[in-house]
A and B are shown apart, each in its own frame.
Chain A
Amino acid sequence: MGVLEQFQHWLLGYWPSWAAYLVPAIVAFLVLSSFILLVVMAFIYIERRGVGRFQVRLGPNRAGPLGILQPVADAIKVLVKEDIIPSRGDRRIHWLAPIIAFMPALAIFAVIPFGPRAIFTDINIGILYIIAISSLGVIGVFMAGWASGNKYSLVSALRTVAQLISYEIPLMLSIAGVLIISGSLSMVSIVEAQSIPFILLQPLGFLIFFVAATAELNRTPFDLLEAESEIVAGYHTEYSGMKFSLFYLAEYTHAFAISAIVATLFLSGWKGPFLPPALWLMIKVFLVFIVLFWARSTLPRLRVDQLMGFAWKGLFPLALLNLFITAAEAIIWPGFPWQLLILNLLIAALLIVLWSGLFRVAGERVSFHRYGRGIAKGMALTFRHLFRRPITVQYPEQRLTPAPRFRGNLLVWDEERCNGCRACARACPVSIIDIETKKGDKGLIVETLEIDFGRCLFCGLCVEACPVAALFMSRDYEQASYFRESLVVKKEQFIAAEKRPSAYAYPDLEAEMPPQTLLAPPKEKG
C-alpha cells in the first residue's frame, strides 16, 4: 500500500469521503512537485557544470558560491522575459502545449518507488502506466510545433513523432525481458524481485532500454528535434518566458523520471546496504543522469535517416531477440540462477557484434573497431577531461598576456622623450593625431596632444615614424565607452595612463615581455 492510500485511510475517519480523496491528491502533488523542482535544479546545475568539465571548461560559476545559484538565476531571468505569441500561430494551442508537455513527466512519479513503502500509489500495472503516460508528452511537442506557425517548429514536431514512435517499440520490448524475470508489472514487486540487479541478468535489455530512453528524452546524440544547426531550436523556437521554462522543466523532469525508471528496473531501485532506501535510489538516479550527459558531451548527433534506421533495423530486432532469449531462459531455468548472468553477458556481446556487422554506414561495414572501440575511446577521453585543468579564463580577474608585438588599442606616449617633431601626425594615414607645440627653453614643448581612437586603424605608422622612440603601441586589449567623444584621448590622459608598451617596432623590448598566454602558439615538443 502506498503512502497516498495510507493517508487517505487515515483521513477517511475524520473527513467526508470526497475530501479524503481530494486532499491527499493535492498534498501529494505539492510535495512531489516541490521535490521534483529541487532535483531538477540540482540536475541543471550538475549538468551545466559537468558538461563544462567534460569539455575542459569550468561551467557557470558566478551566481553564488561555485555557481550553485545558477538555476535560480536562470529561473528568474526566464520568468521576467516577455511572453511572445506568434501572430500566425494558434494562440490557444500555443498556450496549452507546454502544460501538456510537462504533465506526463510529472505524472510518472506517482508510481516511482522511493523506498519499500515510500511510493505514492503502487498500482499493479505500474510500468504499463509509465509507458502509457510518457507517450502523451509527444502531443505537447506536437501542439507546440503546430501552433508556432513556423516551418522549423513543424519540422521539429514531425521529427519528434517519428523518433518517439520508432524508439517506443524497442523501449517496451526491452522492458518485457525485465517483466518476464520479475513476473510483475508493479514497480515495487520489480524492485523486490531484484536479488541481483537486472542490469546483470539483462545486459542487452539494459543497453537497448538506455539507448531508446535517451532517444525518448531527445537528448544528444538523439536531439534531432532541436538540432540548433538545422532547425533553430525546434518546437520551442517561438517560446519565451514562462512557457519556455515549462518546456525546459519538462525536459529535465522527464530526464529525472527516466533515470528513476532505469534505476528501478535495472539497478535494483532502493535496494542497497547501510544507507536509507530513498538515498540509494537518488544515488542511482544521479549516476544514471551523469552517464546520460556524459554521453551527451561525447557523442555527435545522428542524421535523421540513420536515427530511424538505427531504431528499426538495429534496436528493434535486438530487442525481439532479447525477449525471445529471456523467454526461453524462463522456461529452461525458471529460477534465473546467478550463473545465467555470465551466459547473458556473452549472448549480449555476441549479438551486438554480429548484428552491427550486418550494417553499412557511408559504404563501410560497421566494425567493432570503429563503432565499439571508437565510442569507448571517445567516452574515455571526455572522462579524462574531468581531471584536466579547465582552460576557462576567468576574464576580468584573470588576464592573458598578448603577443609581444601586439598592437593594442591605445598608444603609449613618453612625454619625457617626445621632442614635438610631429612626425607621427604626418605619418598618420587618417590624420587623427592632433599635436600643437610651442617653443620652450630646450626645443619644442607639446601643448596639446589629441588622438581620436574612434578612427584609429592601429596601423602602427606613427610608432614607426617616431625618431626619438617616444611612441609605442600598447599591450592593452580592452576599450569600451558609452560616448564617442571619450574615445578622443588627450595629453593629460596619456601622461596619467599606465604605461605598458608592446614590442611593436621595438624588437629589443621583446626580451623583457612576459610570455604570451593569449592565443599562444603550441609549445614544441622536446
Chain B
Amino acid sequence: METGIAISFWILAAVMVASALAVVWLRDIFRAALFLVLCFFSVAGVFVILGADFLAAAQVLIYVGAIAVLIIFAIMLTRETQRGSPSGRFRFIAFLVGLLFLVTVTLVVVSTDWHAITEIPAEPTTSSLAQALFSGESGFVLPFEIAAVLLLAAIIGAIVLVRER
C-alpha cells in the first residue's frame, strides 16, 4: 500500500514538474497547452493519492475540462500560431511580473508552517464536504450562494448579449 502510493506519487510528481517545464519552454503553443492539460491531470492524480476524490474530480472537470479547453480554443482562434510564441514588446514588463510572482510564491512557501496531518482522510468525502460547506454557523452558505448567483448572472448576460434581434 505504502510503496504503491509512494511510487505513484513520485511518478506523478515527475510528470507534473516535467510537463510544467514543457509548458514554459516549448515554442509550439499548441503542444504547450497539451502539456498544461497533462500537468493539471497529474495534479488531480496527487489529489487522488491524498484521498481527496471530490477535489480530484473538480480539478479534472474545471481545469482540464473547462480552462485547458478554453485555452486550446483560444489558440485555434489565434492567427499565426504556427510560428510559435513570438517575443512581444512586453518582454521586460513580463519579466518583472514573473519575478514578482516568483518572489511572492517563494515567500509564501517559506513562511507557511507545513505540518503533516496524521489523521486518516474522511472516507465518504462528499458528506463531510457538504457538512463543512453548509452546516449552520461555521458554514459558507452565503459565499456559495453569492458565487452561484454571480455565475448565473454571467451566463444570462452572455445569452442576452448574443441573442438575435
Contact check, A165 vs B69: say whether CB atoms are below 8 A apart. Answer: yes
Contact check, B2 vs A17: say whether CB atoms are below 8 A apart. Answer: yes
- Complex: A21 Cα to B69 Cα, angstroms: 32
Taking the complex as formed, is A193 at the interface, i.e. its CB lies under 8 A from any CB of chain B? no
Main secondary structure of the interface of B (DSSP, over half): helix
Residue of A nearest to B31 (CB): A93
Residue of A nearest to B158 (CB): A312
Taking the complex as formed, is B43 at the interface, i.e. its CB lies under 8 A from any CB of chain A? no
Knowing A93-B31, A125-B54, A143-B34, say if A161 contacts B7 (CB, 8 Å): no
Within 140-165 of B, Cβ neighbours of A (below 8 Å) are at 152, 155, 158-159, 162-164
Q: Which of A43-51, A131-139, A201-209, A387-395 contacts B (4 or more CB under 8 A)?
A: A131-139
- Complex: A136 Cα to B155 Cα, angstroms: 23
Q: Name A's B-contacting residues (CB within 8 A).
A: 17-18, 21-22, 90, 93, 123-125, 128-129, 131-133, 135-136, 138-139, 142-143, 146, 154, 157-158, 161-162, 165, 168-169, 184-185, 309, 312-313, 316, 320
Q: Name B's A-contacting residues (CB within 8 A).
A: 1-4, 7, 28, 30-31, 34, 37, 53-54, 57-58, 60-61, 64-66, 68-69, 72-73, 76-77, 123-126, 152, 155, 158-159, 162-164
- Complex: A184 Cα to B159 Cα, angstroms: 32
Contact check, A136 vs B60: say whether CB atoms are below 8 A apart. Answer: yes
Residue of A nearest to B1 (CB): A17
Residue of B nearest to A316 (CB): B155
Contact check, B65 vs A132: say whether CB atoms are below 8 A apart. Answer: yes
Contact check, A146 vs B30: say whether CB atoms are below 8 A apart. Answer: yes
Contact check, A161 vs B2: say whether CB atoms are below 8 A apart. Answer: no
Knowing A136-B60, A313-B163, say if A17 contacts B76 (CB, 8 Å): no
**Contacting residue for B76 out of A136, A157, A168, CB 8 A:** A157
Residue of B nearest to A184 (CB): B126
Main secondary structure of the interface of A (DSSP, over half): helix
Contact check, B53 vs A123: say whether CB atoms are below 8 A apart. Answer: yes
25 contacts between A and B (CB under 8 A): A17-B3, A90-B31, A93-B31, A93-B34, A124-B125, A125-B57, A128-B54, A128-B58, A131-B57, A132-B60, A132-B61, A132-B65, A135-B60, A135-B61, A135-B66, A142-B69, A143-B34, A146-B72, A158-B76, A161-B69, A161-B72, A165-B66, A169-B155, A313-B163, A320-B152
Contact check, A18 vs B126: say whether CB atoms are below 8 A apart. Answer: no
Tell me which residues across on chain B come within 8 A of A133, comparing CB atoms.
Answer: 60
**Contacting residue for B4 out of A17, A90, A157, CB 8 A:** A17
- Complex: A123 Cα to B30 Cα, angstroms: 34
Contact check, B7 vs A18: say whether CB atoms are below 8 A apart. Answer: yes
**Contacting residue for A161 out of B64, B73, B158, CB 8 A:** B73
**Contacting residue for B125 out of A125, A142, A143, A161, CB 8 A:** A125
- Complex: A230 Cα to B130 Cα, angstroms: 48
Given A21-B4, A139-B69, A313-B159; 15 other pairs, CB 8 A cutoff? A17-B3, A90-B28, A93-B34, A124-B123, A125-B125, A132-B57, A135-B65, A135-B69, A138-B69, A143-B34, A158-B76, A158-B77, A165-B69, A312-B158, A313-B163
**Contacting residue for B73 out of A90, A128, A158, CB 8 A:** A158
Contact check, B3 vs A18: say whether CB atoms are below 8 A apart. Answer: yes
Minimum CB–CB distance from A431 to chain B (whole Å) comes to 61
Tell me which residues across on chain B come within 8 A of A93, comparing CB atoms.
Answer: 30-31, 34
Residue of A nearest to B8 (CB): A21
Tell me which residues across on chain A come within 8 A of B155, comparing CB atoms.
Answer: 169, 316
Contact check, A124 vs B126: say whether CB atoms are below 8 A apart. Answer: yes
Tell me which residues across on chain B come within 8 A of A309, comparing CB atoms.
Answer: 164
Residue of B nearest to A157 (CB): B76
Knowing A17-B4, A93-B30, say if A125 contacts B53 (CB, 8 Å): yes
**Contacting residue for A125 out of B7, B34, B126, B152, CB 8 A:** B126
- Complex: A440 Cα to B157 Cα, angstroms: 100
Tell me which residues across on chain B come within 8 A of A142, comparing CB atoms.
Answer: 69, 72, 76
- Complex: A342 Cα to B2 Cα, angstroms: 54
Knowing A17-B1, A93-B30, A142-B69, say if A129 contacts B159 (CB, 8 Å): no
- Complex: A96 Cα to B123 Cα, angstroms: 36
Contact check, B76 vs A154: say whether CB atoms are below 8 A apart. Answer: yes
Tell me which residues across on chain B come within 8 A of A184, comparing CB atoms.
Answer: 126
Contact check, A124 vs B53: say whether CB atoms are below 8 A apart. Answer: yes
